[in-house]
Chain A
Amino acid sequence: MSRRVLVFGIGNPGRRDDGLGPALAEALEARQLAGVTIDADYQLTIEDSVSVAEHDLVVFADADAVGPEPYSLKPIGPAAGGVGFSTHGAEPGGVIALAQQVFDKKTEAYLFGIRGYEFELSVEMTEKAKANLEKALAFLEPLLRGEGSFAEAAASFCA
């Protein structure tokens, strides 16, 4: 059985560069890559652990407010995280942990951060973010097509 991959874009398209994750997901969906499921939402929530558990490898794509330009990729594992005042969103590590605890599924997972700059209420991404998105797509698409290893690609960002 071939590897099942999920790309999950996180962010609010109505908040300028916060829409980088969903924009990446939308662009990849148009490419109809074999064996790759695409999803997106404002934030992760606990039920996303169901779809995480149904896949062998998950890439969480999110706008990164402080990370390196134009993007970064790092492996992530299960993490308990905390409980805040109110947020209903879950973190990638929390969703992975839930998939593991609730559905007994260890999913290989990566956090793909695309550098964003402006996050106020507007639908238009900044030009710099758009440029980063194009570079991010060019980097990620070959990996999703099976050309190269995610683990090795992520390792190159740790240097």
Chain B
Amino acid sequence: METTGSKLKRVVIEPVTRVEGHGKVTLHLDEEGKLHDARLHIVEFRGFERFIQGRPYWEVPVLVQRLCGICPVSHHLAAAKAMDMIVGAEKLTPTGEKMRRLMHYGQTLQSHALHFFHLVSPDLLFGFDADPAVRNVIGVAMKHKDLAVQGVMMRKYGQEIIKATAGKKIHGTGAIPGGINKSLSLEERDGFLKGLGQIKEWAEGALALARKYTEDHLKELAGFGSFDSNHLSIVREDGAMDLYDGNLRAIDSEGKKIFDQVAPVDYLKHIKEEVRSWSYMKFPFIESLGTEKGWYRVGPLARVNTCDFIDTPVAEKERKELLQLTNGKPNNITMAYHWARMIELVHSLEKIAELLNDKDLQGSDLVVQGERRHEGVGILEAPRGTLFHHYRVNDDDQIEMANLIVSTTSNNEPMNRAVTSVAKQYFDGRAVTEGMLNRIEVAIRAYDPCLSCATHALGRMPLTVAVYDHQGKLLDRVVREGE
């Protein structure tokens, strides 16, 4: 047993879903058995920066995909954007930029669809207290077969867009420094256009489901793992939501701008990372506000809060309705992430429709280059939030320095606060009940954290819940076996 102080005892909730990338929750109790503090520990792999040192810069957009099996496209594109700066590509060709955007919206579509249908819909459809044997995607398939079909087919549609733009399903090579290495054939375009109407209809159905759930349960959700916070994302120069490119904007819980239109290359002037002794994962914060007040949220809810508008009609209408819940001010309800995520799902499809009807995707001018530089920063909005890639390259074209801030790192403090809030509400000081465990999971899941920058090997999949008293004696232990 670990202790944080001589009079505290600790409860551990540890899901080992990957060899490296797993998380665990520890609940720290005082002598009376009341919750003192809760911490989410995420084993973040920090060796990647060292792994690519010495490698030629043009390999990086492919190499970084080894970092994460969940969002390789986001890393691929963020690295490529940084390498655009290295090769002096001030502005990509229309074909280069639009092919990358199509890849990015395809990634956002498949990621958001998977999260909603696979991980979240069982909670929303069956309730937090439903039997875990039913509260999963198979349970959804049995009771709501149409929804399961939609989730599978939407995910497949997004994956096919990725394959068509990145070249292959894993370790894609589509984005290269200064542009892209292929355009979209008319045959590929027509195939995507043919299926688009049905996918969009299903996406709008998922959006309606998320909105209705939020509105119907507003009173309960407003007090569930929620808190005021700052929000951060990139936005376009005119303030529009832009998931692929833009400048940094941060707002406080009331909507007041903390900074705005900060160029990606200047991110270190505003964002710092704090190290805490008990966590491998850093805690980013806005330097001007300090560590106590400078933490912020990223991801769908943050993006809906920070932008001035969304430039596609259905998503914009929904954004306005979501913000009406909080009288036009930023929405700080953690569970509203799901509604915001579905707004982005529909937005991505609206953008995919725009792009597929743009003849630039069949262009042949794919790459630009300019004056060689030694430093590049690429920032984009990955499905889970703002993703920073920063590299320095020497005269021999080798990577000298790499710094990555992934979205789950930015959401580290908010997730800790969500866990603390839920644990204070539901932990009775004795045992970890199924209901409490799932509520903690529900709160963390709202952020769609990526804990799996790691391996998938057989034999490492149990979920362990253990309760110890303040003397280290095991009081309770629950193992939720993986397959």
Q: Which of A27-35, A41-49, A131-139, A145-153 contacts B (4 or more CB under 8 A)?
A: A41-49
- Asked if A88 and B115 sit within 8 Å, CB to CB, the answer is yes
- Asked if A88 and B51 sit within 8 Å, CB to CB, the answer is no
- Asked if A84 and B463 sit within 8 Å, CB to CB, the answer is yes
- Whether B448 sits at the interface, judged by CB under 8 Å, is yes
- Asked if B119 and A83 sit within 8 Å, CB to CB, the answer is yes
- Asked if B152 and A66 sit within 8 Å, CB to CB, the answer is no
Report the bound CA distance from A122 to B452 in whole Å. 16
Give chain A residues whose Cβ lies under 8 Å from the Cβ of B119: 83, 86, 88
Q: Which residue of B17, B63, B132, B153 is within 8 Å of A86 (Cβ)?
A: B17
Most buried by A among B23, B156, B169: B156
- Asked if A86 and B452 sit within 8 Å, CB to CB, the answer is yes
- Asked if B169 and A41 sit within 8 Å, CB to CB, the answer is yes
Give chain A residues whose Cβ lies under 8 Å from the Cβ of B19: 15, 18, 65, 119
Most buried by A among B66, B114, B142, B460: B66
Nearest residue (CB) in B for A43 is: B456
- Asked if A86 and B448 sit within 8 Å, CB to CB, the answer is yes
- Asked if A119 and B457 sit within 8 Å, CB to CB, the answer is yes
- Asked if B458 and A47 sit within 8 Å, CB to CB, the answer is no
Report the bound CA distance from A80 to B159 in whole Å. 24
Nearest residue (CB) in B for A15 is: B455
- Asked if B458 and A64 sit within 8 Å, CB to CB, the answer is yes
Q: Which residue of A10, A15, A22, A88 is within 8 Å of B454 (Cβ)?
A: A15
Give chain A residues whose Cβ lies under 8 Å from the Cβ of B18: 87
Give chain A residues whose Cβ lies under 8 Å from the Cβ of B152: 46-47, 49-50, 98, 102
- Asked if B456 and A10 sit within 8 Å, CB to CB, the answer is yes
- Whether B45 sits at the interface, judged by CB under 8 Å, is yes
Q: Which residue of A10, A45, A87 is within 8 Å of B155 (Cβ)?
A: A45
Give B149-171 as 1s and 0s: 1 = Cβ < 8 Å from A's Cβ atoms: 10111011001000000000111
Give chain B residues whose Cβ lies under 8 Å from the Cβ of A92: 483
Q: How far is the CB of A126 from chain B (nearest CB, A)?
A: 13
- Whether B48 sits at the interface, judged by CB under 8 Å, is yes
Report the bound CA distance from A67 to B460 in whole Å. 11
Give chain B residues whose Cβ lies under 8 Å from the Cβ of A15: 19, 66, 454-455
Report the bound CA distance from A83 to B137 in whole Å. 8
- Asked if B449 and A12 sit within 8 Å, CB to CB, the answer is no
Q: How far is the CB of B195 from chain A (nearest CB, A)?
A: 13
Nearest residue (CB) in A for B450 is: A86
- Whether B468 sits at the interface, judged by CB under 8 Å, is no
- Whether B138 sits at the interface, judged by CB under 8 Å, is yes
Nearest residue (CB) in A for B146 is: A102
Give B63-91 as 1s and 0s: 1 = Cβ < 8 Å from A's Cβ atoms: 10111011010000000000000000000
Known A80-B136, A88-B70, A119-B19; contact A42-B483, beta-carbon cutoff 8 A: no
- Asked if A98 and B138 sit within 8 Å, CB to CB, the answer is yes
Give chain A residues whose Cβ lies under 8 Å from the Cβ of B457: 11, 17-18, 62-65, 116, 119
Nearest residue (CB) in B for A101 is: B141
Q: Which residue of A12, A40, A49, A79 is within 8 Å of B455 (Cβ)?
A: A12
Q: How far is the CB of B135 from chain A (nearest CB, A)?
A: 7
Nearest residue (CB) in B for A19 is: B455
Give chain B residues whose Cβ lies under 8 Å from the Cβ of A78: 138
Give chain A residues whose Cβ lies under 8 Å from the Cβ of B148: 98, 101-102
Report the bound CA distance from A28 to B240 in whole Å. 48
- Asked if A85 and B444 sit within 8 Å, CB to CB, the answer is yes
Give chain A residues whose Cβ lies under 8 Å from the Cβ of B328: none
Q: How far is the CB of A38 from chain B (nearest CB, A)?
A: 12
- Whether A56 sits at the interface, judged by CB under 8 Å, is no
Give chain B residues whose Cβ lies under 8 Å from the Cβ of A43: 69, 452, 456
- Asked if B132 and A82 sit within 8 Å, CB to CB, the answer is yes
- Asked if A83 and B17 sit within 8 Å, CB to CB, the answer is no
Q: Which of B420-459 contact A (CB under 8 A)?
A: 441, 444-445, 448-452, 454-459
Give A87-110 as 1s and 0s: 1 = Cβ < 8 Å from B's Cβ atoms: 111111110011001100000000
- Whether B15 sits at the interface, judged by CB under 8 Å, is yes
Give chain B residues whose Cβ lies under 8 Å from the Cβ of A155: none
- Asked if B23 and A80 sit within 8 Å, CB to CB, the answer is no
Q: How far is the CB of B361 from chain A (nearest CB, A)?
A: 24
- Asked if B445 and A91 sit within 8 Å, CB to CB, the answer is no
Report the bound CA distance from A14 to B65 in whole Å. 9
Chosen A-B contacts, 6 in total, with CB atoms closer than 8 Å, are A11-B455, A84-B15, A86-B444, A88-B452, A121-B47, A121-B48
A binding-site residues for B, Cβ under 8 Å: 10-15, 17-18, 22, 40-43, 45-47, 49-50, 62-67, 78-94, 97-98, 101-102, 111, 113, 116, 119-123
8 closest cross-chain pairs (CB), A and B: A42-B69, A14-B66, A66-B459, A101-B141, A18-B455, A91-B483, A47-B156, A65-B457
